[in-house]
Structure 1
Amino acid sequence: MSEDGRRPRWVYGTGAEPDYRFSLANERTLLAWLRTALALLAAGVALDQIDLAFDDRLETALAAALVVLGIVCSAASWWRWARAERAIRQQEPLPASTLGLLLAVGAVAIGLVVLAGL
């Protein structure tokens, strides 16, 4: 068990110290999801600032949806990292994640609305 003060304790305070390569791979996955979250946030801001041929309320709603997806992606990616790290430390199967499905459905829905408005 970890007594070195690493947080969160519910992740690091359990199981055995894994091969660092697994932890680093898990961290790289977290960073990839965070890049996706930043891209969604940037797309939401851009959509709000660029004047398209849509109704202003629709543009605002689409921008807000992208920002919300970015926020959800950020939070869910950290939660996914923590659950995976804990599973690695306990030598258990990696937990399932619905983050990819959520983002895919959100992106398709926003894309279809944009396509319909073109």
Structure 2
Amino acid sequence: MDEESEPDPRFTLANERTFLTWLSTSLALSAAGVAMAAVPREVFVSWVRVAVAVVLALLATLAAALAYPRWRRVQTALRRRAPIPALALAPVFGYGVALVAALALVLIVVAR
């Protein structure tokens, strides 16, 4: 059985800040999704506006739902003095934000 010990408080607090940052990111993504959904239909092409809003809402949901499990896995690794687990969703968020940017570019070009 792995021996657990109390990790350095600095690492625990850094892990907590990361958890809170995931929640802040989720809140920002949610707000952006709601804002995009609230844009009047005549301003942007409807399907692109809806697509951007949906991708933002999905990313917000993932960030919020996975923040605590991530915090818990990292905290367990710190207690066991084990390697920090990789963030498996990093590509999802990277590509998700890139998709939002690409859709926003389509919005800008089509709206002109």
1:41-64 deviation line (CA, Å, top 9, x unaligned): 000000011226323233222211
2:57 is the alignment partner of 1:67: yes
SS at match of 1:15: coil
Q: Segments of 4+ in structure 1 off by > 6 A?
A: none
Correspondence for 1:8: none
Cα separation, 2, equivalents of 1:98 and 1:35: 19
Letter of the structure 2 residue corresponding to residue 24 of structure 1:
L
Quick one: percent identity of the two aligned structures?
Answer: 38
Q: Compare relative contact order (CA 8 Å, sep 6+) and give the higher one, 1 or 2.
A: 2
Contact 1:47 1:63 in 2 (8 A): yes
Contact 1:34 1:77 in 2 (8 A): yes
1:13-67 deviation line (CA, Å, top 9, x unaligned): x722222221111000111111111100000000011226323233222211111
Correspondence for 2:85: 95
Question: Following TM superposition, by how much is the alpha carbon of 1:102 offset from its aligned partner in structure 2, in angstroms?
Answer: 1.6
2:48 is the alignment partner of 1:58: yes
Cα separation, 1, equivalents of 2:32 and 2:71: 24
SS at match of 2:66: helix
* RMSD of aligned alpha carbons: 1.6
Distance 1:116 1:58, change over 3 A: closer
Q: Structure 1 stretch 107-116 or stretch 83-92: which is displaced more?
A: 107-116
Contact 1:73 1:99 in 2 (8 A): no
Q: Which runs of 5+ in 1 are unaligned?
A: 1-13
Letter of the structure 2 residue corresponding to residue 42 of structure 1:
A
Question: What TM-score does the superposition give when structure 2 sets the normalisation length?
Answer: 0.84
SS at match of 1:80: helix
> What is the total number of aligned residue pairs between the two structures?
105
2:6 is the alignment partner of 1:31: no
Cα separation, 2, equivalents of 1:41 and 1:80: 20
Cα separation, 2, equivalents of 1:59 and 1:117: 7
Cα separation, 2, equivalents of 1:38 and 1:100: 18
SS at match of 1:85: helix
